Amino acid sequence: MSKTVRIFVKGNEAVSRGALAAKCRCFFGYPITPQNEIPEFMSSEMPKAGGEFVQAESEVAAANMLLGAGACGVRAMTSSSSPGVSLKQEAISYMAGSEIPAVIVNMNRGGPGLGDIGPAQGDYYQSTRGGGHGDYRLLVLAPSTGQEAYDMTIQAFDLAFKYRNPVMVLGDAILGQMKEPITPWIPENIESEGGEDWRLDGANGREKRLIKSLFLEEGALAGQNQKLQAKYDAMKEMADAELFDTEDAELVVCAYGSIGRIAKSAVRKLRKEGKKVGLFRPKTLYPFPEKPLLKLAKEGKRFLTVEHNLGQMVDDVRLAIRTVADSDFFPIYPGNLPTPDDFEEPILKSLEGK
Amino acid sequence: MSRYLDSIIAGFGGQGVMLIGNLLAYAGMQEGLNVTYIPVYGPEMRGGTANCTVVLAEEEIGSPIIRRPTSLIIMNRPSLDKFQTRLQDGGINIINSSLVDMELADTKRVNCYAVPANEIADKLGNTRMANMVALGAFIEATKIMPLDAVVNSLDNVISAHYSHLIPKNAEALQAGADHIK
Amino acid sequence: MSEMNEKLVFDRPKAVIDRPTHYCPGCHHGVAHRLVGELLEELGVFEDTILVSSIGCSVFLYNYLNVDAVEAPHGRAPAVATGVKAARKDNFVFAYQGDGDLASIGMAEILHAANRGEKISVVFVNNTVYGMTGGQMAPTTLIGQRTTTCPSGRCLEHEGAPIRMTEIIAGLGGTAFAARGSLDNVKNIRQAKKYMRKAFECQTQNKGFGFVELLSACPTNWKMTPVQANERIQTEMIPYFPLGVYKDTDEGGAC
């Protein structure tokens, strides 16, 4: 009998190990709590994997190093937490505009400003609406467990190259700091490099290549935006969500990431008390899993969105179900540490339609 | 009913509450359980109060953060003040009676175990093993897993530099368990 | 004279694309581009080169050189080049930046790339103004020089002193070579090319960070004729930005 080997690691380490399993070969970091275990782990493990680790002078520089490595078609990553991710937005916009694949990890902390070092979900808008200047989207994956942190980091690299687009793995201080068993696995048939037809590696007799986001010729920028739009439309096929006890539920709680799993505990407890409640947990925040949500709405269910912010994902929930239903909203203020108990009362209220 | 236990372990920074939280969770994993461990620090790197939450369960774990736990390990007085009222009725409360006045224990509502962890550890030769004494008592009181599972996990949570202390830590775990047998 | 007697004595380097540049008359970017192109060919790295272009007039360098290229955000070319080199250790990686890009918004990136000793080369074109945006004050604008954002002339008390980048870069541990040349006359151009060769060789020989500053004319924004602009380099710029080698680890240090 083969016993699956589990290792007991922080979410930050799960992300790092996932990246190495995905053959990430360039990592650019900068210290900020609560993601420091990622650059720390990478500084020792990346060289062993034959890759490059650079501690950048700033998050600005780290993101631009990512741009450079990504333009070469090499699997590359950077990680940070909210204030640092704000600084990365410049390069992220350029990467989106230049169609450079890259993975950015954000272990969301409390804000605005310096906020705190605790968990929060205040960066939902920033992550799903582009975040920098111009009109663009990142693919955004939202793990809620250590295992998902590992799995989704691997997936992030595949998606980045599939769509030639930056991908964000959006966790929070809970995911980053919590230890949980994970079962590492190594994906098959992946290479540390992709993009044979566009990557930069020296012309060597072929036509030279240019990776850029500047389009001054008449019609060129409109064409580029149209191309990006088509790509974002195509991404919709990979929207994904976990549906838990939704089948006969009268009320569906919508929550993502760490809050999703905390809400799950509350849903389970109320189920045991005979309450008809379920959970809808988006695993992709962009594209948002609109279809399964709309289906639930059409079945006549009611909705309550809970988030660790003042109400951001609730916009996407409402957009998805707008033709047939609406969603209540319950905030956990950044700075407070939520527990399942906090969700019971608002869930019961929504269930009763109050 | 399937096995489930959640616990808040709290004390001063330096009392090793994070270490025994890690140890408990790691041993739980080795026992085939689902586990989560989450530390909560004060802003200071050293010397503040510290606590962690460990959840051990046969079924999938939802929340790793618990408002009203089913068990506690209380290593100092401020931790008792902060967490005892949150303990569920009939919950298990391991109290380090070397540092906490047992008059303050809510013996009517919850199951309190007075464990003079510092004294027992002192007798074994090192006060710093008070955390292990408390964890040993906790395992005995909750019966969540065999003590051996914890002992066998010591080498995974104690760094190689301190590996010579593993036998002593195992003794401390046993002494804690023996104390409340 | 018959065609048979014609002899080709001067040709376009293969690395340089045969097309007219968009630069203004008297601008020195074209000269700098050509020197880069000649060197890429002479050093045998042209086919392996990855150019990191910056923001400013020279963003279009990628339209004039026959090499792979990526466009960096404003000031970030040394960070982008760091990433490119991390991914492509065997390729020749260089950045080409102007004074606003390198010495103002990109100050952190250039200093740290140099200090880490990145095996990249940076060509720094200093013409004392933001050219593309219309001649605003740059960190290298000379005291008293009028620009659209210091119309009465740069004032030491308000705007600080012009920054001498090569001297700063030369003081950093990872720098293998740092020199300042000028493109105002043939003699200086030849000398500048020698400096650039040395800076590029720091990379091909894996010695460390190579840096060359090129004093250049911007007649349009200086509101001068090309001839006047060249004279200004001699009379105003070189006295403040002295030419020469400021660090050469081969020669055991600074000049």
**What are the sequence ranges of the domains in chain B?**
4-179
Chains B+C touching (3+ CB pairs under 8 Å): no
pLDDT over 70 percentage in chain C: 97
Together in a domain, A232 and A101 = yes
- Report the amino acid identity of residue C79: A
Q: Looking at the structure, do residues A40 and A149 belong to the same domain, yes or no?
A: yes
CA-CA distance, A27 to A16, in Å (whole number)? 10
- Which tens digits make up the pLDDT trace of C146-183? 999 999 999 999 999 999 999 999 999 999 999 999 99
Average pLDDT score, chain C: 95
Q: How far apart are CA C58 and CA C56, in angstroms?
A: 5
- Report which secondary-structure segment, H or E, holds A7: strand A7-10
Q: Using a CB-CB distance cutoff of 8 angstroms, which residues of chain A are in contact with residue C50?
A: 72, 200-202
A264 shares a domain with A176 = no
Q: For B65, which residue in chain A has the nearest alpha carbon?
A: A339
Stretch C67-80: mean pLDDT, rounded? 98
Could you read off the pLDDT of A20-78 as tens digits, one per residue? Answer: 999 999 999 999 999 999 999 999 999 999 999 999 999 999 999 999 999 999 999 99
CB contact under 8 A, C67 and A205: no
| C154-158 own/partner pairs: CB under 8 Å, 24+ apart | none
Both A62 and A174 in one domain: the answer is: yes
DSSP-derived secondary structure letter, A144: -
* Residues A69, C69: C-beta atoms closer than 8 Å: no
Nearest to B68 among A117, A181, A341 (CB): A341
Cα(C142)–Cα(C155) distance, rounded to whole angstroms?
9
Residue that finishes a domain, picked among A187, A216, A237 = A237
Q: Does residue A46 belong to the interface with chain B, where contact is any CB pair within 8 Å?
A: no
Same domain membership, residue A267 and residue A231: no
**Homologous superfamily in CATH for domain C22-251:** Thiamin diphosphate (ThDP)-binding fold, Pyr/PP domains (3.40.50.970)
The answer for residues whose C-beta is within 8 angstroms of residue A29's C-beta and 6 or more apart is: A38, A39, A42, A43, A53, A54, A55, A56, A62, A78, A79, A80
List Cα–Cα distances, A273 to A219, A276, A310, A354, in angstroms. 61, 9, 29, 19
Q: Do A261 and B29 touch (CB under 8 A)?
A: no
CA distance C124 to C118: 16
- Cα–Cα distance measured from residue C27 to residue C220, given in angstroms and rounded to the nearest whole number: 8
CATH (domain of A196): 3.40.50.970
SS (H, E, C) B100-123: CCHHHCCCCCCEEEEECHHHHHHH
Verify that A45 and A104 share a domain, yes or no.
Answer: yes
d(CA B68, CA B87): 5
Q: Cis peptide before A39, with omega less than 30 degrees from 0? A: no
Measure the CA–CA gap between B55 and B6, rounded to whole angstroms. Answer: 4
Is A212–C80 a contact, with Cβ atoms under 8 angstroms apart? Answer: no
Cα C94 from chain centroid (whole Å): 11
Residues pairing with A220 in the sheet:
none
List the domain range (segments joined by +) for residue A176. 7-237
Same structural domain for residues A267 and A199? no
User: Is B38 in the A-facing interface, judged by CB distances under 8 Å?
Assistant: yes
Beta bridge partners of B34: B57
Domain boundaries, chain C: 22-251
**What single string gives the DSSP state of each residue in A225-293?**
HHHHHHHHHHHGGG--EEEES-TT-SEEEE--HHHHHHHHHHHHHHHHTT--EEEEEESEEES--HHHH
User: In the predicted model, what is the mean pLDDT of residues A278-289?
Assistant: 98
Same domain, A43 and A106: yes
What is the model's pLDDT at position C201?
98
Question: Is residue C5 very low, low, confident or very high in pLDDT (cuts 50, 70, 90)?
Answer: confident
Residue among A192, A204, A209, A210 with most chain C CBs within 10 A, to mutate: A210
A1 pLDDT exceeds 80? no
Do the bridges between strand C68-71 and strand A210-211 make them parallel or antiparallel, or are there none, so unpaired? parallel
Q: Does residue A326 sit at the C interface (CB-CB below 8 Å)? A: no
Do residues A73 and A201 touch, judged by C-beta distance below 8 A? yes
Low-confidence ranges of chain B (pLDDT < 70): 1, 41-48
Map residue A150 onto helix, strand or coil. helix
- With vertex at residue A72, the alpha carbon angle to CA A67 and CA A75, rounded to the nearest 5 degrees, is 75
Chains that touch C (3 or more CB pairs under 8 A): A
| Domain spanning B4-179, CATH class | alpha beta
> How many beta-carbon contacts under 8 Å exist across A and C?
140
Question: How many other β-carbons are positioned within 10 Å of the β-carbon of residue A340?
Answer: 23
Can you tell me whether residue A143 is helix, strand or coil? coil
How large is the average pLDDT for residues A340-344? 96
Q: Report the largest interatomic distance among the alpha carbons of chain B, rounded to a whole angstrom.
A: 44
SS3 A41: helix
Residues A127 and A229 reside in one and the same domain: yes
How would you list the strands of the sheet with C244-248, edge to edge? A210-211, C68-71, C49-53, C92-98, C121-126, C209-215, C175-182, C244-248
Are the C-beta atoms of residues C244 and C155 closer than 8 Å to each other?
no
Contacts of A299 by beta carbon, 8 Å cutoff, 6+ apart: none
Chain A residue numbers with beta carbons less than 8 Å from the beta carbon of C73 are 64, 67, 90-91, 94
Instruction: Report the largest interatomic distance among the alpha carbons of chain A, rounded to a whole angstrom.
Output: 71
**Distance in Å, alpha carbon of C118 to nearest chain A alpha carbon:** 11
A270 in contact with B, Cβ within 8 Å? no
Task: Find out whether C154 and C245 touch, Cβ atoms under 8 Å.
Answer: no
- Contact (CB, 8 A) for B136 and B147: yes
Q: What pLDDT is attached to residue C254?
A: 47
- At B94-135, the pLDDT tens digits run 999 999 999 999 999 999 999 999 999 999 999 999 999 999
Residue A2 lies in a domain: no
Q: Return the C-alpha torsion angle C102, C103, C106, C108, nearest 10.
A: 130
Asked, for residue A79, whether it belongs to a domain, the answer is: yes
Residue from A27, A52, A67 to probe the interface with C (highest C Cβ count within 10 Å): A67
Which of A180, A181, A337 faces B65 most closely, judged by CB atoms? A337
Do the chains contact at A340 and B36, CB–CB below 8 Å?
Answer: no
The alpha-carbon gap from A99 to the nearest alpha carbon of chain C, in Å, equals 11
State whether residue B11 is helix, strand or coil. strand
Residues of B in contact with A261 (CB under 8 A): 61-64
Q: Which tokens belong to B132?
A: 């292990």
Q: Does B48 touch chain A (CB under 8 A)?
A: no
pLDDT, tens digit (0-9, with 9 covering 90-100), for C177-234: 999 999 999 999 999 999 999 999 999 999 999 999 999 999 999 999 999 999 999 9
CA distance A180 to chain B (A): 5
Q: Which residues of A fall within a CB distance of 8 Å from C109?
A: 57, 60-61, 64
What are C110's two structure tokens? 């250039």
pLDDT at B48: 67
Q: What is the pLDDT of residue C255?
A: 43
Give the pLDDT band of residue A203 (cuts 50, 70, 90): very high
Query: What domain count does chain A have?
Result: 2
Q: How confident is the model at residue C251 (pLDDT cuts 50, 70, 90)?
A: confident
ipTM of the complex, rounded to two decimals: 0.94
Cis omega before residue A331 (within 30°)?
no
A161 and A273 belong to one structural domain? no
pLDDT at A2 (0 to 100):
41
Alpha carbon A332 to its chain centroid, in Å, reads 20
Q: Are C213 and C126 in contact (CB under 8 A)?
A: yes
Q: Which residues of A touch B25 (CB under 8 A)?
A: 8, 179
CA distance A26 to chain C (A): 7
B61 touches chain A (CB under 8 A): yes
**Measured between alpha carbons, how far is A53 from B61 in angstroms, rounded to an integer?**
35
Report the first-to-last Cα separation within chain B, whole angstroms.
Answer: 24
Shortest Cα distance, chain B CAs vs residue A211, angstroms: 43
Are A299 and A216 in the same domain?
A: no
What distance in Å separates the CA atoms of residue C216 and residue C75, rounded to the nearest whole number?
A: 19
Tell me if the bond preceding C73 is cis, omega within 30° of 0: no
What digits encode the pLDDT tens for the residues C108-135? 999 999 999 999 999 999 999 999 999 9
A198 and A263 co-located in one domain: no
